Amino acid sequence: MLAINEWRGAGCRWSGREPVHRRRKALATGESGRVPRAGCAVQQAIFRGLVQSHLPWLSLSRALSWPATGPGARFSLNLMVALTQAGGMSGMDRNNPIVIGLDVGTQSVKLIAYDPQTRQVAATIGQPLDLASGDDGSREQRAEWWIDAIRSCFSRLDPALRARTTAIGVSGQQHGFVPVDRDGNVLAPAKLWCDTSTAAECDLIMGAVGGAQGAIELAGNPIMVGYTASKLPWTREHRSQAYAQLATIMLPHDYVNFWLTGERWMERGDASGTGWLDVRTRQWSDAMVAATDKDRDLRECLPPLVEADALFPVAAAIADELGLPRDVRVSAGGGDNMMAAIGTGNVSAGVLSMSLGTSGTLFAYADRPIVDDAGRWAAFCDSTGGWLPLICTMNCTVATEAVAGLCSFSTRQGATSCWPAPGPAPPAC
């Protein structure tokens, strides 16, 4: 089965004034229905609960494939077990629970609230984000933009839904670098996955281990432009004060989790996009970390890796600020592609998922590391305890939107305008 997560949109702007922000929508074909990535984050929180409940009679694949009505299809319909686990409750102590998924993307933050009893999406809210771009290929966002957008989404969520919330799952754009000091302060703008200003630093890191082949032998992947590792030498050179104060290396979804809980951690799916994780052992590669900075032990800056069923309590102050119960639990979360895999049921062999957003990706589940000696695909871990071999193009729907603009049609109308159909040929695009 091919499942497609398609993210299109229109109309917002980044700081460079190019019309590249998109209002995203999700499309999954086959049995999948429609699954926004924020919904995939909901489902990942659900998956955490299913893993933790250890119920032999509940098939995970069946739980992930039962259809739901409305725009949040392919959610598990046996969510109550997951919710009681994720909410730290026993039995059905809380009536009518709600699970919330957050997706911190390049173009917007999205919130989805799901009601497992009615099997309906209770609310979907989005807030566009700016993107600072430079002629050198830099692409950056400020972490406070994400937090302000999350606050905005929660402020527009019905207080009654907030009061029923039991768990939150966070999905985030991969590979970004959020430098954080010992007190939890962000030291500089976050360099993103689409930042290509660090291409030279990729070569420097790989050169220290014998080139791309050495990196693959050590960790399963070469250091590709955009990967987190290359951003550290760049920061050391161009933002030396921030680098000197660096205490914790965070990815975008890690920082959101930190803001929600006050705790620092990283999960292996998103961590495998840093360039430092040995995907074969699912542990940090000391050699690759050392190659990034031979004069500093960056292992001290890497947060602990947590298992797929990890849950953390929301910080009381954040719960009060957002109008949530203080017993809400936050799942480990994951990168956007890892969440899309869960949301499209790609947690066992036989499903191929395509995600069309600012970037375009194609990926499948594997029960063992799938490393290519030539580095022709990304040998990532997934966020369920397996692996997620993936291929990617950095420029996807920006190109389709540009073509749509040149041809004077909307990408929403592309299927009817340009797709072969019986009858007279449609106007040329």
Active-site residue numbers? 336
> Which of 105, 108, 160, 146 has the alpha carbon at shortest distance from 335?
105
Q: Three-state SS across 178-240? A: EEECCCCCECCCEECCCCCCCHHHHHHHHHCCCCHHHHHHHHCCCCCCCCHHHHHHHHHHHCH
Other beta carbons within 10 angstroms of residue 53's beta carbon come to: 15
Cβ–Cβ < 8 Å for 360, 396 = yes
Q: Provide the residue type at 364 as one letter.
A: A
Three-state SS for 306? Answer: strand
> Which of 402, 378, 371 has the alpha carbon at shortest distance from 392?
378
- Kindly state the DSSP code that residue 33 receives in the 8-state scheme: B
> Which of 386, 384, 388 has the alpha carbon at shortest distance from 52?
384
Which residues, other chains included, contact 345 with Cβ-Cβ below 8 Å and sequence gap of 6+? Answer: 3, 31, 32, 61, 64, 65, 74, 351
Which residues, other chains included, contact 157 with Cβ-Cβ below 8 Å and sequence gap of 6+? Answer: 111, 113, 123, 125
Other beta carbons within 10 angstroms of residue 198's beta carbon come to: 29
Torsion of Cα atoms, 115 then 117 then 118 then 123, to 10°: -10
> Which of 382, 393, 376, 352 has the alpha carbon at shortest distance from 221?
376
**How far is it, in rounded angstroms, from Cα 72 to Cα 308?**
23
> Which of 246, 232, 334 has the alpha carbon at shortest distance from 275?
232
**How far is it, in rounded angstroms, from Cα 128 to Cα 385?**
32
String of DSSP letters for 44-89:
HHHHHHHHHHT-TTS-HHHHHHS--SGGGTT--S-HHHHHHHHTT-
